[in-house]
Amino acid sequence: MPDYFAGYEMFLDEPNRVEDLQDDIVRAVLRRDQRIGMFSNQLKTDRPRYAKNISYTLMSRETIAAHNEWLARRAGRLVPFWFPSWQMDIALARDIEPGQSSMRIEHMGYTQNYLPSRGRRRIILFLRGGGYLTEYIMTATDNGDGTESLYFSSPFGERIAMDDVIMTSFVYLVRLDTDQIARRWETQSIMTVSFPVVEVVGEAEEIE
């Protein structure tokens, strides 16, 4: 069975939300303009890219050192990483029972809008107590009753109650969108950092 999250690190430090949360959806567009008043745009890919500015506070010298090591592994914009949206993208509609290889969610148009384009197949379930589960969506169906079913490649090993799931988020393959990270020392042991990330379109599909 393939590991759909292999090859890249998962970013699991939840960003602080001091400022308003904002996600950007961008497209790679080739503009043809002869400067005579008329122009045309050609999409370089049929999928838009997810972009976001991350900011959070490092509260100790140890976390600052770990952050610097993580940045070194990124090699600027070179090395991608898995990044949860840190938002409630999917809402469970039923508890998940042991041996079940699917989960029922509140209708969000996944079957109609995401499934045909093979977009947003990776998700992460953040659980109470600090645990999490990562899953890859193989297919989905619209149940016609205000819910949809998402199907995975392997069954769940234990029961997961709806109340035990804090948040279910999409996971993106992203890279840093800058080689210079903004860092500000608040005290001798507290640092605020911020950096933009942009989705790597295409590479996530190639490793499948």
pLDDT for the residue 55: 86
Nearest-10 Cα torsion for 53, 91, 137, 108: -90
The whole-number mean pLDDT for each consecutive block of 10 residues of the chain, a chain of 208 residues, reads 83 75 59 66 61 87 93 92 92 94 95 83 93 94 96 91 95 90 90 89 59
Nearest-10 Cα torsion for 93, 95, 100, 106: 10
CB contact set of 1 (below 8 Å; sequence gap of 6+): 153, 154
| CA–CA distances in Å: residue 178 to residues 77, 148, 181 | 6, 38, 7
pLDDT for the residue 96: 95
pLDDT for the residue 32: 67
Total-model pTM: 0.82
β-pairing, 23-26 with 147-152? unpaired
Which three-class secondary structure state does DSSP give residue 77?
Answer: coil
pLDDT for the residue 207: 53
CA distance 101 to 95: 12
